[in-house]
Amino acid sequence: MTYPIVAYGDPILRKQAVAVEKDTDVRKLARDMLDTMKLAQGVGLAAPQIGQSIRLIVMECRTHLGEGCKDDESKKVLINPVLKVDTSVALTNYEEGCLSIPNILIEVPRHEKVFVSYFDVAWRFHEDEWAGLPARILQHEYDHLQGTLHIDYASPLKKRLIQRRLAKISNGKVNVFYPMRFPSDKL
């Protein structure tokens, strides 16, 4: 099954997500999140974006996207990820989108290389080193677990420019091809 994606304005996107209790079976949830990500043509999705405030991320991770990913693991599930960044390498800027904030691209500085530890769906522990796009995707999704959004990186001018569009998204007035859940739906 797939979930509607939680739209900007929902308080869950601003909450710090809680750790998943060890040995919890999240395989069905992770599969559903991967299906939701595919339907929305995204490259990453964090659990708060489907309305669950837990530390769970799904994402694309393929060799051609950057270092540290193998071809046979094009989709990754990360439970309780812990992220460390390599601050010796300069930040790179790139325009990011967000499935919860459709049609708003923001230039976000990210670390080129990250060290990540996490559990997979079988609760095996992993420690990886990623670079390039997977590292960027991971930093974006990890931000979601902290209640941080890509718009938080926008300049004050850009923030002013997108204010009305953000209000529209919260009110469900947005052109989007995948199902979403808007704060205004709750009324």
10 sits in which H/E element = none
Strand, helix or coil for residue 132:
coil
- Phi/psi at 29 (nearest 5 deg)? -60, -45
By beta-carbon proximity to Zn ion, the closer residue of 5 and 69 is 5
By beta-carbon proximity to Zn ion, the closer residue of 29 and 108 is 108
Q: Which of 60, 96, 112, 141 is catalytic?
A: 141
Stretch that binds Zn ion, among 57-65, 91-99, 109-117, 131-139 (CB under 5 A): 91-99
Sheet harboring 125-131: ordered strands across? 44-46, 56-60, 75-85, 113-119, 125-131
- Using rule CB under 5 A, residue 78 touches Zn ion: no
By beta-carbon proximity to Zn ion, the closer residue of 116 and 138 is 138
Burial status of residue 170 (CB atoms within 10 A of its CB: 0-12, 13-18, 19 or more)? middle
148 sits in which H/E element = none
Q: How far is the CB of 102 from Zn ion (least distance, A)?
A: 10
Task: Count interface residues toward Zn ion (CB under 5 A).
Answer: 1
Contacts of 156 (CB under 8 A, 6+ apart): none
By beta-carbon proximity to Zn ion, the closer residue of 2 and 63 is 2
Does residue 141 have an active-site annotation? yes
Q: How far is the CB of 120 from Zn ion (least distance, A)?
A: 22
- Using rule CB under 5 A, residue 98 touches Zn ion: yes
Strand, helix or coil for residue 114:
strand
Residue nearest to Zn ion (CB): 98
Stretch that binds Zn ion, among 54-62, 94-102, 115-123, 160-168 (CB under 5 A): 94-102
Give the integer Cα–Cα distance in Å for 89 and 91: 7
Tokens of 115: 């060290």
Binding site for Zn ion (CB under 5 A): 98
Active-site residues: which are they?
141
